[in-house]
Structure 1
Amino acid sequence: LGESLYLEFDDVLANEQDYYYKIVHCDYDWTPSALLKSQYLTGFDNQRIIDYGNSYTTLQPYSNYRLRIPNENVRLRVSGNYLLEIYNQRGDLQFSRRFVVYQDLVQVGAYIKRARDYQFLNQKQAVHFTINSSGFPLVNPLKEVKVAILQNYHWPTALYNISPQFILGNELVYRYDKETSFFGGNEFLNFDTKDLRAPTAAISKIEFEDVYQHYLFTNRYRNQETYTYFPDINGDFVIRTLQGTDVACEAEYTDVHFSLPYTEILELDEVYVFGKFNNYALEEINKMRYNEDNGNMEVDIRLKQGFYNYKYVTRNDEGVVALNLVGGNYHFTENNYTVLVYYRNFGDLYDSVIGVGTANSREITN
Structure 2
Amino acid sequence: MKNPFLNITFLILTVFCSYISLAQAEKEIAPPYNIKTISFVQNDQNIIPILKLGEGFQLQFDDLFGNEANYYYEIIHCDYNWNPTAIPKNEYLEGFDNQRIQDYSNSFNTLQIYSHYKLAIPNQFTLQLKISGNYMIKVLDENKEVVFSRKFILYEDLVTVPIQVKRARTVNNIESKQNLDFTIRSNTITFQTPLRNVKVLLLQNGQMNTGIKNIVPQYTIGNDLIYKYDWETQFWAGNEFLFFENKDIRAANNNIARVDFSSAVYGSYLYTSAARANFPYSFTQDVNGNFVVNNLNTANNEIEADYAWVYFSLSAPTFRLNKNIYVTGMFNNYTMSPEYKMEYNPKKAIYEKAILIKQGFANFEYKVADEKGVIDYENAIDGNFYQTENDYTIVVYYRENIDRYDRVVGKGIANSINIIN
Q: TM-score under structure 1 normalisation? A: 0.97
1:315 matches 2:372: no
Specify the alignment match of 1:231 in structure 2. 285
Aligned pairs for 1:1-366 within 5 A: 1-74=53-126, 75-208=128-261, 209-316=263-370, 320-323=374-377, 325-366=380-421
Equivalent residues of 2:316, 2:381 under 8 A apart: no
Equivalent residues of 1:183, 1:329 under 8 A apart: yes
User: Aligned in 2, Cα 1:128/1:73: closer, same or farther, shift over 3 Å?
Assistant: same
3-state SS of paired residue (2:226): strand
State the alpha-carbon separation in 2 of the partners of residues 228 and 253 from structure 1: 31
Equivalent residues of 1:243, 1:250 under 8 A apart: no
User: Which gives a bigger RCO, structure 1 or 2 (Cα 8 Å, sep 6+)?
Assistant: 1
State the alpha-carbon separation in 2 of the partners of residues 149 and 318 from structure 1: 23
Count of aligned pairs between the two proteins:
366
Equivalent residues of 1:214, 1:257 under 8 A apart: yes
Which one-letter code corresponds to 2:346 in the other structure?
Answer: E
Runs of 4 or more consecutive aligned structure 1 residues displaced over 6 Å after TM superposition: none
3-state SS of paired residue (1:322): coil
Question: Which stretch shifts more, 206-215 or 291-300?
Answer: 291-300
3-state SS of paired residue (1:67): strand
Which one-letter code corresponds to 1:5 in the other structure?
Answer: F
Which one-letter code corresponds to 1:339 in the other structure?
Answer: I
State the alpha-carbon separation in 1 of the partners of residues 383 and 142 from structure 2: 44
3-state SS of paired residue (1:39): helix
Equivalent residues of 1:112, 1:126 under 8 A apart: yes
What's the CA shift string for 1:193-229, capped at 9, x where partnerless?
A: 1011221231111011111100000110100111000
Specify the alignment match of 2:30 in structure 1. none
Displacement after TM superposition at 1:364 (Å) = 0.8
Equivalent residues of 2:246, 2:254 under 8 A apart: no
Displacement after TM superposition at 1:310 (Å) = 0.6
Q: TM-score under structure 2 normalisation? A: 0.85
User: Aligned in 2, Cα 1:31/1:266: closer, same or farther, shift over 3 Å?
Assistant: farther
Displacement after TM superposition at 1:289 (Å) = 1.1
Higher CA-based Rg: 2
Which one-letter code corresponds to 1:48 in the other structure?
Answer: R
Equivalent residues of 2:136, 2:152 under 8 A apart: yes
What's the CA shift string for 1:66-90, capped at 9, x where partnerless?
A: 0111112111010000011111112
User: Aligned in 2, Cα 1:266/1:7: closer, same or farther, shift over 3 Å?
Assistant: farther
Equivalent residues of 1:274, 1:286 under 8 A apart: yes
Which one-letter code corresponds to 1:20 in the other structure?
Answer: Y
RMSD across aligned C-alpha pairs, in angstroms?
Answer: 1.3
Equivalent residues of 1:204, 1:216 under 8 A apart: yes
User: Aligned in 2, Cα 1:132/1:201: closer, same or farther, shift over 3 Å?
Assistant: same
State the alpha-carbon separation in 2 of the partners of residues 189 and 179 from structure 1: 28
State the alpha-carbon separation in 2 of the partners of residues 281 and 52 from structure 1: 25
User: Aligned in 2, Cα 1:319/1:98: closer, same or farther, shift over 3 Å?
Assistant: closer
State the alpha-carbon separation in 2 of the partners of residues 353 and 20 from structure 1: 27
3-state SS of paired residue (2:335): coil
State the alpha-carbon separation in 1 of the partners of residues 74 and 320 from structure 2: 40
3-state SS of paired residue (2:162): strand
Equivalent residues of 1:186, 1:328 under 8 A apart: yes
Displacement after TM superposition at 1:317 (Å) = 5.2
State the alpha-carbon separation in 2 of the partners of residues 128 and 37 from structure 1: 37
